[in-house]
A and B are shown apart, each in its own frame.
Chain A
């Protein structure tokens, strides 16, 4: 079977991201998965056990400051050379900012079609995408070149399949043009122990109804009890209740957890765009006419400050 390249998405804090395991699982249905690690020195070694656990038969590594010290251009150059050498059956990247950006440059370099926000990929290269805030399902294909696809997190259930990948170090030869956008500083912001928003199985989000930044503690409490991530609607972010990186919706993150809990969120289309494909949606809102109830599998009309503490207490009892 031919090789399928999976470009690894990982963070220093969490290691291999779940979307990478999803991509490896998907790749196994299309061919033989090879992981591609583009990062700082030693990155591939650190990630290899996990990648092997999910079926990576081989790991290609391009590492060092020439890769890690700039925005995506050097990564795209290295990846383009690899694609031309191994002629894979498909290239999968994460449908997050960096994955999309690498894919964008790869598409231009190879004059190859690109499909983003893919939630399924058949062996014949037909991809399933969700468009317009989840309201439309699209089947599409790359018409020129190989399937170059970015996969939306939480689209595939990752399943392990042990392999023992060997690491092949790639020669990193990038041009000056690749090094125009230099990273001069990386600042880690406190994050706590919560799972990453786009990867979490449970997301608890607060909206304007939460009232102020201090009250978000209630949202955080419920999220922590459920082992979930905290999200916020745009109204809550714009009002300064919660930082922008946690915004769910059209101009923020798209999430697709098993359980989405919307607290004090009316459910404007802008918010729905980011959470509509969640498996089960629970909403608490004072306004029984709020559009969020059109989506909710389970809705409670009432004061979240009365309901959430009761729910929290009940969950605590059952833990």
Chain B
């Protein structure tokens, strides 16, 4: 089975993240850029399927030069090769344009199965699997907590608010996974060394037959007008009560300190 895993490089969600003041895009220059955490679960799932059923696992990333670091990191987990869609004109692309580019690349790669994380930790938009599936005319099985492959039949268990549902489709298809699906492996030393030699193909917009005017700021279907850092919570951090004070809760004077704040929040 020819499996392609979508990997996005994002600013580390454990640190302070910002939008750029000049063009309102994600500030990647000052950030610690890492693989989108959820994508590691997608890579793991792809590797498990390859180990059980054979085939090949390809990483597909759209992103600037420095995304190469994340591609090598992804490859160190075990995938066979990678494709990096790299073009200066892509800067500022919206989700709709991004899906056009990724769908064009997937079309060239002829994937049987596309696996991606359920969301990225930067945008958290969750639209990419369905946008790509819509463009490719294939099924999208999203939010999988369990994936079973039986020949060309895929069966996914997905969490819903009322319980869970079981959904099936035939390949080719796009599957997105949550972090409940598996436990991603750590790259071994051997894996890290091997990743340095694995092929990484670079594709430009011209290679994909997408015009520069269809992407970036020119082709954006939505625009950020402005952004502001949210002010600290209006109550400002108060010194917390010590436990001994808590014993007074059982007396008739409950603490009165809190509830006035918060009205200024969005």
> Separation in Å of the A140 CB from the closest CB of chain B?
5
Docked complex: B187-225 residues within 8 A CB-CB of A: 220-225
Q: Are A251 and B178 neighbours in the complex by a CB distance under 8 Å? A: yes
Task: List residues 40-78 of chain A with CB under 8 A from any CB of chain B.
Answer: 71-73, 76
- Is the Cβ of A297 less than 8 Å from the Cβ of B221? no
A145 / chain B contacts, CB cutoff of 8 Å: 221
For A128, A131, A277, A296, the residue with the greatest tally of chain B CB atoms inside 10 Å of its CB is A131
Is there contact, CB below 8 Å, between B230 and A135?
A: yes
Residues of B within 8 A of A108 (CB): 96, 99, 131, 134-135
A residues 179-235 in Cβ contact with B at 8 Å:
180-189, 191, 196
Determine if A136 and B228 form an interchain contact, defined as CB atoms under 8 angstroms apart: yes
CB contact under 8 A between A269 and B266, given known A113-B96, A187-B164, A301-B240: no
Q: Are B139 and A140 in contact (CB under 8 A)?
A: no
Q: Are B258 and A297 in contact (CB under 8 A)?
A: yes
The answer for the CA separation of A218 and B15 in the assembled complex, in Å, is: 32
User: B220 and A143: CB pair below 8 A?
Assistant: yes
Q: Dominant SS at the A interface?
A: mixed
Q: Min CB distance, A90 to chain B, in Å?
A: 13
A193 → B minimal CB distance (Å): 14
B18: chain A residues at CB < 8 Å are: 132, 136
Q: Which residue on chain B has the smallest CB distance to residue A284?
A: B246
Cβ of A306 within 8 Å of any chain B Cβ, yes or no, is yes
Within 8 A of B (CB), among A283-311: 283, 288, 293-303, 306-307, 310-311
User: Which of under 10, 10 to 19, 20 to 34, or 35 or more describes the interface residues of B?
Assistant: 35 or more
Is A164's beta carbon under 8 Å from chain B? no
User: Quick one: which of B94, B161, B168 contacts A182, CB cutoff 8 A?
Assistant: B168
Chain A residues within an 8 Å CB radius of B246: 300, 302, 306-307, 310
Bound: A2/B147 CA distance, A: 44
Q: How far is the CB of B93 from chain A (nearest CB, A)?
A: 12
Q: Mark B161-196, 1 if CB is under 8 A from A, else 0.
A: 111111111100100001110000000000000000
Contact call B131/A112, Cβ cutoff below 8 A: no
Cross-chain contact of B230 among A126, A134, A268 (Cβ < 8 A) = A134
Residue of A at shortest CB range from B160? A186
Q: Is B108 an interface residue (CB 8 A)?
A: no
A184 to B258, CA, bound (A): 49
Q: Is A119 an interface residue (CB 8 A)?
A: yes
Q: Answer whether residue B54 sits at the interface, using C-beta atoms and an 8 A cutoff.
A: no
Q: From residue A152, how far is it (CB to closest CB) to chain B in Å?
A: 10
B50 at interface by CB-CB < 8 Å: no
B258 neighbours in A (Cβ, 8 Å): 280, 282, 297-298
Q: A-side interface residues toward B, CB under 8 Å?
A: 11-13, 71-73, 76, 96-97, 100-101, 103-105, 107-109, 111-117, 119-120, 126, 128, 130-145, 155, 177, 180-189, 191, 196, 244-245, 250-251, 268-270, 273, 277-283, 288, 293-303, 306-307, 310-311, 313-314
- Residue pairs across A and B with Cβ atoms less than 8 A apart, 5 shown, are A12-B162, A107-B95, A186-B160, A191-B163, A280-B258
Which B positions have Cβ atoms within 8 angstroms of A? Answer: 13-19, 24, 37-38, 94-96, 99, 119, 121-131, 133-135, 137-143, 145, 155, 159-170, 173, 178-180, 220-230, 233, 235, 237-238, 240-243, 245-247, 249-250, 254-255, 257-259, 261-263, 265-266
9 A-B pairs with the lowest CB-CB distances in the bound complex, closest first: A302-B243, A299-B240, A113-B221, A298-B258, A104-B127, A180-B139, A113-B222, A189-B163, A144-B221
